[in-house]
A and B are shown apart, each in its own frame.
Chain A
Amino acid sequence: MARYVTSKLLYTLLSLFILITATFFLMKAIPGDPFMSEKEVPAPIRARLEAQYGLDKPLMTQYVNYLGNIVQGDLGISMKKLNQEVGNIIGQTFGVSLRLGLIAVVVSTIVGVTLGLLAALYHRKFIDSLVMVVAVIGIAVPSFVLASLLQYTFGLKLGLFPITGTKTLLGYVLPVMALSAGPIAYIARLTRSSMLEVLNADYIKTAKAKGLKWPAILWKHVIRNGILPVVTYVGPMTANVVTGSVVVERIFGIGGIGKVFVDSITNRDYTLIMGITLFYGIILMAARFITDIVYVLVDPRIKLTSGKEG
């Protein structure tokens, strides 16, 4: 295991290096720069700006300089949000997205698993159909439509929740609903099919025959075994949700990292683009790494290999 982890870490560092390199040159290849606006910046001022940010140097020099800074742990200063450190911007806005995202993950896991379990236990009964209907709607309504319907109906017309902002706990309700609708639907479907498989398995019949109490069977055997696919889905989903949803953040006025990232690209805020990309890359790779480990932990039949042999 230790050898596996070390080799994975080395590969991850290499991937991050490739990610930085690819993003850096991609970013420079697209038209535009941080100083563009409807009113053209006068040439002498533009030249000075480029010199100050080192944008007048050859591309390779810029790249090497950036790598040097990264190695020293310096993400640089935003080119658009003047004098604000990239690290600070990521820290502040990620905190907001993380809080919202984690709530959404917990809510969608609990609700999704419960719904899925109910559907499986009452297979081909009314509850089953109802859950599947909810699941399909959750997937069928796009998040930007759902967010704006929720906001208008529950925020404005019924006045039950704040229209924007997450200053109060109530403010989280609508954004969390908008964020979790899709995952709830997906988790419910996943749980249902996996639980159905488990419920028909021989060991459940054995447990029943042995005279075990139903709640004990449910907890010890059915849920434990049926939850595996959900676990493997929740990992990457968490990475996805906590890195911020532009749509939900924009509609509900939440100062999260998703919105900042899209803005940084529109603004060609080079240092901020690189910083957030690197940060996202680390989160993504960590989440995938953990998922792989979980695979092994929950199912001993799966082997992870780091050696040459396949």
Chain B
Amino acid sequence: MANDNITNKQSLPALTAADFEPVNINERESEVIKRESLTAWRDTWERLRRNKVAMSGLVALIVIIIASILGPYVAYWVHGYDYQTNDLMATNQKPSALHWFGTDDLGRDMFVRTWSGARISLIVGVAAALIDLLIGVIYGGIMGYFGGRVDTIMNKFSEVLYAIPYLLVTILLLVVFEPSLGTIILALTITGWINMSWIVRGEIMKLKSREYVLASRSMGAGTGRLLFRHLLPNASGPIIVTLTLSVPNAIFAESFLSFLGLGVQAPISSLGSMVENALTGWMYYPWRMLFPAVLISVIMLAFNLLGDGLRDALDPSLKNK
């Protein structure tokens, strides 16, 4: 073996000066970034787009949104059903060619009601979750970043607010405001943001003593830059998980509100209130619970998948994996 190597070496052609060329020593040029420069959001989107699971969650959501807008009209065009007209001669009908999802206890078409319910639930869930996100991140960020007395006072304030019986607050809201979508969202967010703020606070507390924060600070970065460029993006994982969970939470909390009389007023309904309505008789009329319940589950699933994908896409440590 060794002998063979030696023989090969000897057969190599001799090197001449012409075989060499000088290395480019222009430092300026060596610093040029060859890859196209992407903004943080573009970058995230690119990575998200390559994540098929997350994209299927997104597609499912888009399909549900379109169906919730068009579904009621389709049933109206085909059979002339709307969400509120009773048909007492056709109560609790099984799904059929006439009523695709069956009918409920007042003979109303479940197909129309399921999709128009999904519309209400999505509006309420997404709006409440976004408001929670906005308030929670700002409040929690300030608590966690400044710490000390600011943290103690703001933290205690949120605890007090959290401990005040929610039922009392919503009953009072009901007395002061007329029931409407806005009132419901208000009722859901009045304490809904607290959990988010606690999560953000915990993350920021953990992150702010990390080396890169220290480095950035010593290079003169201000509070805003530290918070929004370093701390929050690094805390985005838990924030997004909480956000994706708070959409479905809001959807269910809404059904609790309609139970109290603060939710959407009958005959309008949401998915949550439809499920609750069907709960006492689901063993006999399963379709009345099945369709709204499955739709809620699919919505939650889609939000979760999308959320997981977003978290991966936003996480700087996973950049080139």
A residues contacting B by CB (< 8 A) are 7-8, 11-12, 14-15, 18-19, 22-23, 26-27, 29-31, 136-137, 139-142, 144-145, 148, 152, 186, 189, 193, 232, 236, 261-262, 265, 273, 277, 280-281, 284-285, 288, 295, 299, 301-310
List 15 A-B pairs, Cβ < 8 Å: A11-B152, A15-B156, A18-B160, A23-B164, A139-B245, A141-B297, A142-B272, A142-B296, A144-B276, A262-B167, A277-B164, A285-B163, A301-B210, A302-B206, A310-B150
**A-B CB proximity, top 10 nearest:** A281-B163, A140-B297, A140-B300, A15-B156, A310-B148, A310-B146, A301-B209, A265-B167, A310-B147, A30-B171
A26 to chain B minimum Cβ distance, whole angstroms, is: 5
Q: Which of B152, B252, B304 has the most CB of A within 10 A?
A: B152
Are the C-beta atoms of B168 and A288 separated by less than 8 Å? no
Q: Given A136-B301, A145-B275, A261-B165, decide whether A232 and B202 contact each other with a Cβ distance below 8 A.
A: yes
- Interface residues in B191-245 (C-beta closer than 8 Å to A): 198, 202, 205-206, 209-210, 237, 241, 245
Q: Given A26-B164, A307-B148, decide whether A302 and B172 contact each other with a Cβ distance below 8 A.
A: no
B243 to chain A minimum Cβ distance, whole angstroms, is: 13
Are the C-beta atoms of B156 and A145 separated by less than 8 Å? no
Asked if B175 is at the interface of the complex by the 8 Å CB criterion, the answer is: yes
Are the C-beta atoms of B293 and A145 separated by less than 8 Å? yes
Please name all residues of chain A whose beta carbon is closer than 8 Å to the beta carbon of B165 when the two chains form the complex: 23, 26, 261, 265, 273, 277
A22 to B283, CA, bound (A): 44
Contact with A along B249-268 (1 / 0, CB 8 A): 00010000000000000000
Additional 13 contacts, C-beta under 8 A, given A8-B152, A140-B304: A11-B153, A19-B163, A19-B164, A141-B297, A142-B252, A145-B275, A193-B237, A284-B159, A285-B159, A295-B205, A301-B210, A305-B147, A310-B151
Q: Which of B205, B282, B293 has the most CB of A within 10 A?
A: B205
Are the C-beta atoms of A30 and B172 separated by less than 8 Å? yes
A108 to chain B minimum Cβ distance, whole angstroms, is: 16
B residues contacting A by CB (< 8 A) are 145-153, 155-157, 159-160, 162-165, 167-169, 171-172, 175, 198, 202, 205-206, 209-210, 237, 241, 245, 248, 252, 272, 275-276, 279, 282-283, 289, 293, 296-297, 300-301, 304
Q: What is the chain A residue whose CB lies nearest that of B149?
A: A308
User: Which residue of B156, B164, B175, B289 is within 8 Å of A30 (Cβ)?
Assistant: B175
User: Which residue of B164, B202, B237 is within 8 Å of A22 (Cβ)?
Assistant: B164
Q: What is the chain B residue whose CB lies nearest that of A182?
A: B245
Q: Given A193-B237, A280-B163, decide whether A136 and B148 contact each other with a Cβ distance below 8 A.
A: no
Are the C-beta atoms of A265 and B168 separated by less than 8 Å? yes
Please name all residues of chain A whose beta carbon is closer than 8 Å to the beta carbon of B167 when the two chains form the complex: 262, 265
A112 to chain B minimum Cβ distance, whole angstroms, is: 15
B9 to chain A minimum Cβ distance, whole angstroms, is: 36
Q: What is the chain A residue whose CB lies nearest that of B169?
A: A26
Are the C-beta atoms of B275 and A142 separated by less than 8 Å? yes
A282 to chain B minimum Cβ distance, whole angstroms, is: 9
Are the C-beta atoms of B163 and A284 separated by less than 8 Å? yes
Please name all residues of chain B whose beta carbon is closer than 8 Å to the beta carbon of A310 when the two chains form the complex: 145-148, 150-151
A302 to chain B minimum Cβ distance, whole angstroms, is: 6
Are the C-beta atoms of B164 and A148 separated by less than 8 Å? no
B127 to chain A minimum Cβ distance, whole angstroms, is: 20
Q: Given A141-B297, A285-B159, decide whether A148 and B279 contact each other with a Cβ distance below 8 A.
A: yes
